[in-house]
Amino acid sequence: MLWFVRRYVDLSKIEELSVTKRFSNQSCQRRRGCTRMWHWLFLVGMFATFSGCSLFVMAGKMIFGDPLIVCDFTSQTHVNLQKEHKKVLVICSSPEAVKLHWPSLDYDILEKVSQNLNSRGIEVVNLDDVAHWIDDNGGEFDHPSELAEEFDADYIVHIELNEFRYLEEHSRDLYRGRANGNMMVYEVVRTTQGGEKRARAQQVFVQEFNSEYPSLQPIPSEQITDKSFRQKYLEEVSRELSRKLYNYRMEDTF
């Protein structure tokens, strides 16, 4: 009997050691799995650091898809210029102090924004016709209703620039674009008074905008020419302004 008890105790110890070892092995495997996971995340992070934002954009699309972002204009007015096939007239104005350093800026912004809207299926009034009308009227207008009377459009987009520069402040050798101003959108309301057709512009949207590019640090003049940076920043600002008027995907912002 004593022999049986001793034998049972020995077997119990062996089984206990076996169970302990098994749990220890599982714990080690879990630790090794966690370690491998952290190594993988570290490598992904390092790769993303050197490859820019595209990796995280791809990962986000895999997890969340690529949802449509509703633009500011549609959010406030509930009007979708693309789906409702609205015709838009774009106009840009800036102070003389801004045009002193960039005489063609108003037309350049008008051209780029018009091209962006056209590429999204939004019909735009011929920009040359608008530019000629502005020139014929002394380069300015008192109220968008004047444009509503002259052109066949459903909405008038007025981009009002207060500041636009492409050099870093207090520097001639560093490029960083900065712009600010307001975007106003007017709905063209057409009526008939005394048998005469009239049109007036009624404001339905206004939003301030501020732009800075690049945001992290300026670009030295040794890395890019003056002409190239001016063009690059013009396109950047025009995209930012255009995205206020049509819905877009997150990938369009990179």
Per-residue model confidence as pLDDT tens digits over 39-96 = 444 444 444 443 444 444 455 555 555 688 999 999 999 999 999 999 999 999 999 9
Domain boundaries, the chain: 2-51, 68-253
Please tell me the number of Cα atoms within 13 Å of 63 on its side-chain side. Answer: 6
Instruction: Using the predicted structure, report yes or no on whether residue 240 has a pLDDT greater than 70.
Output: yes
- Is the whole-model pTM more than 0.95? no
**In which element (H, E) is residue 191 found?**
strand 174-193
Torsions phi, psi of 243, nearest 5?
-65, -10
DSSP letter at 215 equals S
Show the tokens assigned to 250: 């997150």
Q: Beta 219-220 vs 174-193: how paired, if at all? A: antiparallel
Query: What token pair was written down for 12?
Result: 């119990």
Q: What is the pLDDT of residue 252?
A: 61
Q: What is the pLDDT of residue 250?
A: 73
φ, ψ of residue 138 in degrees (nearest 5): 75, 20
| Dist CA 133 CA 151 (whole Å) | 10
With residues binned 3-state (H G I as helix, E B as strand, rest as coil), the percentages for the chain, rounded to 5, are 50, 25, 25
Peptide bond into 95 cis (omega under 30): no
98-120 tens-digit pLDDT: 999 899 999 999 999 999 999 99
| Look-up of token digits 């109220």 | 143
Could you read off the pLDDT of 157-202 as tens digits, one per residue? Answer: 999 999 999 999 888 899 999 999 999 999 999 998 888 889 999 9
Q: What Å distances lie between residue 65 and 57, 60, 93, 158, 250, CA to CA? A: 10, 7, 39, 34, 10
CA pair distance 214, 223, nearest whole angstrom: 14
* Look-up of token digits 């690059």: 232
Residue 8 has pLDDT above 50, yes or no: no
Mean pLDDT of 201-228: 95
Q: How far apart are CA 134 and CA 129, in angstroms?
A: 9
* 146 pLDDT more than 50: yes
**Residue 195: its pLDDT value, please?**
82
